[in-house]
């Protein structure tokens, strides 16, 4: 339920632009502010995970998200306040992600870890679906950002209860040694770990560019084709399902497939598919709506499917007593790229004429996919 907060900004982008007269660059900057806070909190939470019980960090972060989101509902009423408010929501959010991956990784074996992390990602995707739906329904009914943040903040409160009872009885060993130079050397000295980190950076660039702008693009094309004959609420449900139900399905299937057929094979396939989709999606507004939404679903499957696999693969490669630090370093690099990607998309969109703006802007997300694909093909194959 805490994940219902995560997709508020992408769903709010059309509202930001129409109500506050923002450019695409400014609207992308709000997402960048949230993602910057997310990146910083990921690094902190990941590093602390090697020093403290991850269940405690996970619970505390869920509580923080609920408080920050409800506080933002009182603050956000302009562009500047949105930058500040969503920055603090992002700062609260990071501890809900990596600690949850570590909890699942520690509770599973190598034979079923991919599937388990896939189910975790699927649960997050379910929250993303609800996030987009609730945001657009609230805008349709109340026409205010405050209503969105109050409702999603309330959902985060439910997530706090689930986190408390879900982690009851779970604890992890606390390491007593601080990060040392040999451990850093081991993290960056291993070629496969470096490639996995580079692949994750490219993956985040592509994924967050897509997640941020695909809802606005689909809303735009739907309104252009249907005029006044469409419902924002129904369209929101459709967009949420297309973008994130397919992603949830993809996370589970890719996790199971990586356990059976090998993580590297899956990463190579997903990377190549993502690049093709990124290069074509922005030009697909000429398609019938059903074909465009189908394309969006395939795109979502492609760019989400490697998330759980990258996490499972890195968890297997990281030094046992410093998994949190490894994930933290990876996260600050990857989510740092994710903070920049939506802004670059917006800059390109603002600079280009309307007939090619969407097409070229989505191609910028594909640059990350190219990096991820090259990194995947540079990995040595695995037997699983």
Strand residues in 61-182 grouped as ranges (E):
none
CA dist 108 and 193 (Å) reads 21
pLDDT given at position 234:
81
* Neighbouring residues of 176: CB distance < 8 A, sequence distance ≥ 6: none
pLDDT given at position 118:
76
Residue 312 has pLDDT above 90, yes or no: no
Which 3 state secondary structure label does DSSP give 318? Answer: coil
pLDDT given at position 169:
67
CA dist 349 and 292 (Å) reads 20
CA dist 254 and 317 (Å) reads 19
Give the DSSP H or E segment for 221: helix 191-226
Sign (positive or negative) of CA dihedral 347, 306, 55, 325? negative
Q: In 10 A of CB 216, how many CB atoms?
A: 23
Instruction: Give the percent of the chain with pLDDT over 70.
Output: 90
Choose the weakest-confidence range: 213-217, 283-287, 377-381: 377-381
CA dist 46 and 61 (Å) reads 12
Residue 356 has pLDDT above 70, yes or no: yes
**Digit-coded pLDDT (tens) for 264-293:** 888 999 999 999 999 999 999 999 999 999
**What domains can you pick out in the chain, each with its CATH number?**
2-170+181-378 (1.20.1250.20)
pLDDT given at position 383:
44
CA atoms within a 13 Å half-sphere pointing along the CA-CB vector of 19: 13
Mean pLDDT of 152-174: 82
Q: What is the pTM of this model?
A: 0.80
pLDDT given at position 261:
80
Quick one: pLDDT band at residue 180, thresholds 50, 70, 90? very low
Choose the weakest-confidence range: 118-122, 125-129, 206-210, 322-326: 322-326
pLDDT given at position 172:
62
**Digit-coded pLDDT (tens) for 1-53:** 888 898 899 989 888 988 999 999 999 999 999 999 998 898 888 778 777 88
CA dist 172 and 146 (Å) reads 38
**Quick one: 67 exposed, middle or buried, by C-beta within 10 A (0-12, 13-18, 19+)?**
middle
């Amino acid at each position: 339920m805490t994940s219902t907060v995560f997709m508020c900004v992408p769903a709010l982008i059309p509202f930001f632009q129409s109500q506050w007269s923002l450019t695409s660059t400014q609207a992308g900057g709000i997402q960048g502010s949230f993602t910057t806070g997310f990146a910083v909190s990921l690094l902190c939470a990941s590093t602390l995970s090697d020093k403290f019980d991850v269940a405690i960090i996970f619970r505390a972060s869920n509580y923080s998200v609920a408080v920050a989101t409800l506080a933002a509902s009182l603050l956000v009423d302009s562009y500047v306040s949105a930058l500040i408010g969503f920055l603090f929501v992002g700062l609260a959010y990071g501890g809900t992600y990596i600690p949850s991956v570590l909890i699942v990784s520690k509770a599973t074996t190598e034979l079923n870890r991919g599937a388990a992390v896939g189910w975790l990602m699927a649960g997050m995707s379910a929250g993303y679906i609800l996030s987009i739906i609730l945001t657009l329904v609230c805008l349709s009914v109340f026409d205010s950002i405050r209503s969105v943040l109050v409702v999603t903040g309330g959902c985060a409160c439910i997530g706090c209860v689930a986190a408390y009872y879900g982690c009851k009885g779970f604890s992890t060993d606390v390491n007593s040694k601080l990060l040392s130079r040999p451990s850093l050397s081991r993290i960056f000295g291993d070629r496969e770990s470096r490639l996995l980190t580079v692949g994750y950076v490219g993956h985040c660039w592509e994924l967050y560019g897509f997640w941020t702008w695909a809802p606005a693009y689909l809303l735009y094309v739907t309104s252009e084709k249907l005029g006044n004959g469409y419902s924002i609420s129904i369209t929101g449900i459709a967009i949420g399902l297309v973008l994130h139900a397919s992603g949830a399905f993809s996370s589970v299937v890719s996790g199971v497939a990586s356990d059976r057929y090998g993580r590297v094979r899956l990463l190579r396939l997903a990377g190549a598919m993502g690049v093709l989709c990124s290069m074509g999606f922005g030009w697909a507004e000429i398609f019938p709506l059903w074909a465009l939404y189908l394309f969006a679903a395939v795109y979502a499957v492609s760019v989400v499917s490697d998330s759980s696999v990258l996490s499972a693969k890195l968890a297997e490669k990281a030094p046992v007593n410093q998994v949190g630090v490894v994930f933290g370093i990876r996260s600050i690099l990857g989510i740092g790229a994710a903070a920049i990607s939506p802004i670059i998309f917006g800059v390109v969109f603002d600079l280009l004429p309307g007939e090619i703006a969407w097409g070229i802007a989505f191609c910028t997300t594909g640059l990350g996919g190219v990096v991820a694909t090259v990194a995947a093909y540079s990995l040595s194959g695995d037997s699983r």
